[in-house]
Structures are given as C-alpha cells and as structure tokens.
Amino acid sequence: MVLDKRPRATDLGLKIGILPSGRNNTITDVPDVSVGHVTLNYGDGPLVVGQGPVRTGVTVVLPCSGNIFEKKVTGAFHIINGFGKAIGFPQVMELGVIESPIALTGTLSTWRVADGLIDYLASRNSGVQSFNPIVGECNDGFLNDIVGRHVGPQHVLEAIERAVSPNVEEGNVGAGTGMTAFGWKGGIGTSSRICNSSGKEFVVGALALTNTGDPRELRVNGFQIGEYMLPPRGKSIDDGSIMIIVATNAPVTSRQLGRLARRAVFGLGRIGGIASHGSGDFVIAFSNYQGNEFIDDDDITNLFRGVVESTEESILNSILRAETTIGRDGNVRHEIDIDKLKELINER
C-alpha cells in the first residue's frame, strides 16, 4: 500500500474551519491516545459466503495507555441516526465512563469483535466479571463477504497490540477497508484541533469511519463538488453509516462531553451528510482527563468548534486518502480523482 501518495486535506491547501490543527492533525494529538488497525484484504471474484472475497478489518482507538478498565475515561455517546448496531452505550450514558478500547469494524463482525474485547479485558483483569465493550460498525457488504464475518477476536487483540501514536493510517485500512463515502472509496480519516478554553489549550481530535453520503451532496470545504464530479458509476448509494470517535484531554464532565459528542453532527452536515434513512450514525466521545476540576460551560464553545472542524476534516481525509478497491463479485469503489478535484477547487 502506498497510501502516503494520496494527499490529506491540508496537502491540498485546504483550511477547514478557523481553529489551528494539532501537531499531526490526528486524533493521536490528544496525549496518550493511540490507534491500531488490522486490515483483511484477500481473495477475488464471486462472493462465496464464508470464503470471501474479504475486504474488511478492525480499527481500535485506545483512549489511554495502561489498563483502561482500571483507569476508565470519561465517556459519552450520541446517536444521530439509530439504524445501526453500535454496542456499549447504555452503560456509558448511565455511568459516564468508558472502560474498554473502542473498536470499529464491519456490521456483522460487531459481536465477535466485542467478544474479542472481552478476551483482552478479562485476561488483564483477573477476577472481574463484568466489562462493557464498545464497538461501532458500518456495512462493508458492497465489497466484502460480510456474512462470512472474517474478523475474529484475534484480530482485535492484534489491532490493540499494533496501536501506535502519533501516526495514524488513513483511507482503506482497518475497519475502513471496504467502506464507501459519498459514492467514492472511503474508510478511515482523522484530524485534530487546538482549542482555547478558559485560558488554556486543549486538544480535540476526531477519527471517522465513513460509509455514508450521497455523491451529489459532497462538499469540499463548502464547495459542492458533487455538482461537477461524480463517481464513475453514478449509482446513487446514500445509505451506509458513519462512526465518529471524538477524543479530548479537556477537563469536561460526562454531561459536558455529551455536549461535545452532539456537535459532531455539524461537521457531518458541513461536508454534505444528511443521515439518510439507512445510515446508522453514531458518535463515541471520551476525555482522558483524570482530575476533578472542570471547565465552566461558559468556556466550552471552542471545544464544540474543535469537534465540528476535526469531524469535517476527518471525513474529508477518509475520502482523499482512500484508494480504488475492487471487491466481491467485481464490485468497484473508485478513489476520488485528486487532480480533477484540485482543478475544480482552483477554478471556482
């Protein structure tokens, strides 16, 4: 894979929003956060359930180093459109904490991945009898043998082991391997913002798994590119889903973090998303701040802004960085044509 040949939004000179990015413009700019992918990409030709072709994977976000079950981080969920299978949020909403790595995968692997998180957590916390795994999912069935459920618990453990910081691979990797965004090949994207609040600087980062959007509605930094440029096969597929992970080190309570989570939808709106019927859209947010002095709500708006901007840019990066992928039954998702995109942006 030569993903680094494809540009991010900043490489195209795009400046999304008004806040500065973090050092790497990734979710891992939030201190102590790391990301790991396992990509499963093999087989070609007609779909044979249980055999392939396989275009899927798993992506994990570790909210902190060390034993997350013991440390726990402040957590919140927001359901934009509930047509999805995401796991773990009743407890997060009730108790305001996340005690598990956050995993993303293809829809029908959701529960095996959750079971893999149990393997991971139980092996590190002997004697504990209850864990609340967090899994988000999008449907990669257009390219992948989704019913075959090729992601297993071992891939979860492997993704956790591989988790690194600060470099986060984007595009068709991990859970993003088989995804589609605004009709183009999508997948994983990330971004971050530096947010001033009450005189201090905090980082807000986002990581998106994108599988949503109508090609006609894609907006690149506000420019409705979908008016001028559609994927080679014009079939309008606007169902899918999006999972947005929001991370911060800002000192926020779970109530305040819920307010942050509810702002991700504005980033999705800016890029042209509308949460179509079939798009199960979820936001999973955490803060790994561990003290007990919290910001005032009066000082929270810049954190909201950081969520909006890093979400918009994460989604855009997931498209820019993804490469054309041929999947089961010869189904193709084309990468967005960067040259044409540049041309359009410069011309307007």
Q: At what angle do helices 153-162 and 110-124 cross, to 10 degrees?
A: 60
Residues 183-242 that bind a second copy (CB under 8 A): 216-217, 219, 221-224, 238
Instruction: Please state whether beta strands 102-106 and 97-98 pair in parallel, antiparallel, or not at all (unpaired).
Output: unpaired
For a second copy, give the closer residue by CB, 41 or 211: 211
Judged on CB neighbours under 10 Å (0-12, 13-18, 19+), 18 is: exposed
Residues with a known catalytic role: 241, 279, 281
Among 23, 200, 233, 348, binds a second copy (CB under 8 A): 348
Among 91, 105, 165, 317, binds a second copy (CB under 8 A): 91
Instruction: Please state whether beta strands 73-81 and 184-185 pair in parallel, antiparallel, or not at all (unpaired).
Output: unpaired
We find the least distance from the C-beta atom of residue 248 to a second copy, in angstroms, to be: 16
Residue 84 lies near a second copy (rule: CB under 8 A): yes
For a second copy, give the closer residue by CB, 339 or 347: 347
Tokens 């980082």, residue located:
203
Going by C-beta distance under 8 Å and a sequence separation of 6 or more, which residues neighbour residue 277? 81, 83, 239
Tokens 């998180």, residue located:
117
Residue 46 lies near a second copy (rule: CB under 8 A): no
Among 22, 57, 133, 187, binds a second copy (CB under 8 A): 133
We find the least distance from the C-beta atom of residue 254 to a second copy, in angstroms, to be: 6
Strand partners, 55: 41
For a second copy, give the closer residue by CB, 32 or 299: 299
Among 300, 315, 320, 322, binds a second copy (CB under 8 A): 300
238: closest CA among 256, 218, 208, 224? 218
Among 14, 274, 338, 344, binds a second copy (CB under 8 A): 274
Q: At what angle do helices 301-320 and 254-261 cross, to 10 degrees?
A: 50
What count of other Cβ atoms lies within 10 Å of the Cβ of residue 123? 9
For a second copy, give the closer residue by CB, 255 or 340: 255
Contact 252, 209 (CB under 8 A): no
We find the least distance from the C-beta atom of residue 119 to a second copy, in angstroms, to be: 9
Residue 48 lies near a second copy (rule: CB under 8 A): no
For a second copy, give the closer residue by CB, 64 or 146: 146
We find the least distance from the C-beta atom of residue 280 to a second copy, in angstroms, to be: 7
We find the least distance from the C-beta atom of residue 312 to a second copy, in angstroms, to be: 9
Question: Rounded distance, CA 97 to CA 92, Å?
Answer: 5
